[in-house]
Structure 1
Amino acid sequence: MTLSQLRTFALVARLGSLHAAAEALGVSEPAVSSALAALRLDLGDPIFVRAAGGIALTPGGRALAVYAQDIVGLADQARSEVANAKNDAGQLKIAATPTFAEHAAGRLLDLFTTRLPGVVVDVVVESPQDLASLLHERAYDIELGARPTTPAGTAVTEFRLESAAFLRYQRAFVAAPADPLGRLHGPVAVTQLLARPWFAGPAGIQDSTEEGRWLASMAVAPDIIRLSSETDALAAVRAGEGIMLALGHIVRAEIQSGTLVRLPVVGTPVSGLWWASTLDHRRAATMAQTLKRFVGTADATAAMVAPGGSRGLQRRGSKFHVALWSK
């Protein structure tokens, strides 16, 4: 059993196709078949059978897939950490959920890389529902923002993630002072909000967040207009076009100045948490563990919630390489 054979099998197991794995590896399909044949012979198990449109893993193949992904990931991590150690530097692959990326990631990572100037940070904005699988596959070292959810039908123990809450936030409904709802006095029922357009950022209101669970408990299904950012959504609200469930610390100054009005909706504000998530401590990259500890410090919190200025991933220099979330 070799690392190359395990890498090939891990890719076949994930993609469900020998042909797709061969394309991803840049080798011929017979080369993939040969590697799998050697594994079959070594283990005394067929590990997969042909199925309509691809393959199906045997029970032995499913067990091997977990170990193969771990072994391949650890080998890649070891190679990366050894290479970085030569340069006295570190490279950190970060997945950020959309709201955190827009409102806090830039300031946090500016401060972090100031404290550890040798670190190169790659950040990609990802959908929360994909994060557990992406961390397990070691596509990223750490995730910041919404807590990853285990894919349906998968045992939690298979993923072995560790999450630490690092920032509590609140969301409240806001409107322009001239908005019909902005002129109301006294408690506002959630059903009254349905008469106005709801704006949100590109992620909408995610089911896996506290605000998503709150909305589900209200048994209403508003038609949410998703814009390219929460900043754009707030601009629409300021213009009197509708309402938004906004982050409290982002709109606090505008509420105090009267630019926006907080609607006294029953059950709000809704409190939520941002999390830092990695593989378990035995498998997490050293730099990922360092960042997970750092995000819970007072300095990090102060940077993320400081009023005024840009909070998001604005830099496009050598430190931050950002691919915008587009799902």
Structure 2
Amino acid sequence: MTLEQLRVFATVADLLHMTRAAQRLHMTQSAVSASVAALEATCGVPLFHRVGRRIELTAAGRAFLPEARAILDRVTVAETVLADVSGLRRGRLRLHASQTIANYWLGPLLHRFHALYPEIALEVAIGNSTQVTAAVTEGEADLGFVEGAVDALLLAKIAVPGDRLVMVVARDHPFGHGQVRAQYILDVPFVLREEGSGTRQVFEEGLAAHGIDPALLKVALKLPSNEAVISAVAAGAGATVISELAAAAGLAAGALRQIPLTFPQRRFYVLRHADRYQSKAEQALLALVRGGAKPGA
């Protein structure tokens, strides 16, 4: 049994698909299949059912998976400790970030980090706030960056200055040009991000603070990215409430018009697992964050 076989097994178990596992591991499908077969031969039991073109974990596979993950987690920690010995001259950081942060806030911060520590490899994945929180909790990310406050007991949360939400419509939308009361938004259709998005979470919390039930909104479209939301709004699909960072280009170009409805400043949060080893690379990036990374700097 080798570490490489454990990595292949865990990846196949996560995806339950040989081809997608091969793509994630940058291996051929035949090499992935051979690695799984060799591990099964070593264990003496099948780890997967082959059901037509699908695969499923056997009972032995389900029992073995958490043990394999635990070994791989310990290897990652060991690699990180050894990287620290080299004094930030080698290593990697796995980062997951919500869309608004990844697209409009994180880039300048990572540029500064890379200039200071060019030998530290940075791996960035993008998801919504719920997905980012899960990645940090499960050890798939060293640090996570989210827009909304999260309720996860195992995670340490560091608040940093964030952005402000703005309400926008298409430039020729008939919705009010003067002062708009919060209750008026129940009269217009909305284009919103999906559930689990930090932007949507903060918007709905703001509505509740005004005594408005978010369930009463007329949601015309629910889309999985800021860019898709803005494109639909600019085409006249309805109104949205979105990060001022995401709306800035559309407002500057005249494709969008901002509705004068005020939302409070919101914070961004950096997440790390409180029980996991904190590498020098993590400490260095957090020092930059605490030093004042400004949105869009």
Map of 1:276 onto structure 2: 270
Alignment partner of 1:245 is 2:245: no
Map of 1:190 onto structure 2: 185
Question: Which secondary structure state, in structure 2, belongs to the residue aligned with residue 295 of structure 1?
Answer: helix
Map of 1:3 onto structure 2: 3
Alignment partner of 1:171 is 2:172: no
Q: Alpha-carbon deviations, 1:168-198, whole Å to 9, x = none? A: 443232457874323244524222222xxx4
Q: Amino acid of the residue matched to residue 233 of structure 1?
A: I
Cα 1:281–1:212, aligned 2, differ >3 Å: closer, same or farther? same
Map of 1:144 onto structure 2: 145
Cα 1:15–1:234, aligned 2, differ >3 Å: closer, same or farther? closer
Map of 2:15 onto structure 1: 15
- Percent identity of equivalent pairs: 21
TM-score, normalization by structure 2: 0.66
Query: What is the CA RMSD across the aligned residues, in angstroms?
Result: 4.7
Alignment partner of 1:32 is 2:25: no
* Partner Cα distance (2:228, 2:34) in 1: 52
Q: How far off is 1:100 after superposition? A: 1.0
* Partner Cα distance (2:4, 2:129) in 1: 31
Aligned residues of 1:102 and 1:229 also touching (Cα < 8 A): no
Cα 1:29–1:229, aligned 2, differ >3 Å: closer, same or farther? closer
Map of 1:101 onto structure 2: 102
Q: How far off is 1:65 after superposition? A: 1.7
Aligned residues of 1:90 and 1:120 also touching (Cα < 8 A): yes
Q: How far off is 1:293 after superposition? A: 4.5
Question: Which secondary structure state, in structure 1, belongs to the residue aligned with residue 10 of structure 2?
Answer: helix
TM-score, normalization by structure 1: 0.61
Q: Matches of residues 1-327 of structure 1 in structure 2 within 5 Å?
A: 2-16=2-16, 26=28, 27=31, 29=33, 31-39=35-43, 48=47, 50=49, 52=51, 53-58=54-59, 61-76=61-76, 78-79=78-79, 82=82, 85=86, 88-116=89-117, 118-132=119-133, 134-135=135-136, 140-146=141-147, 161-175=155-169, 179-185=173-179, 187-188=181-182, 189-194=184-189, 198=190, 204-209=193-198, 210-211=201-202, 213-214=204-205, 217-219=213-215, 220-224=217-221, 233=230, 243-247=239-243, 261-264=258-261, 269=263, 272-297=266-291, 299-300=292-293, 303-304=294-295, 311=296
* Partner Cα distance (1:18, 1:236) in 2: 40
* Partner Cα distance (1:19, 1:247) in 2: 37
* Partner Cα distance (1:92, 1:113) in 2: 11
Question: Which secondary structure state, in structure 1, belongs to the residue aligned with residue 112 of structure 2?
Answer: helix
Aligned residues of 2:168 and 2:241 also touching (Cα < 8 A): yes
Question: Which secondary structure state, in structure 1, belongs to the residue aligned with residue 105 of structure 2?
Answer: helix
Cα 1:74–1:178, aligned 2, differ >3 Å: closer, same or farther? same
Q: Which runs of 5+ in 2 are unaligned?
A: none
Give the total of aligned pairs. Answer: 276
Cα 1:4–1:141, aligned 2, differ >3 Å: closer, same or farther? same
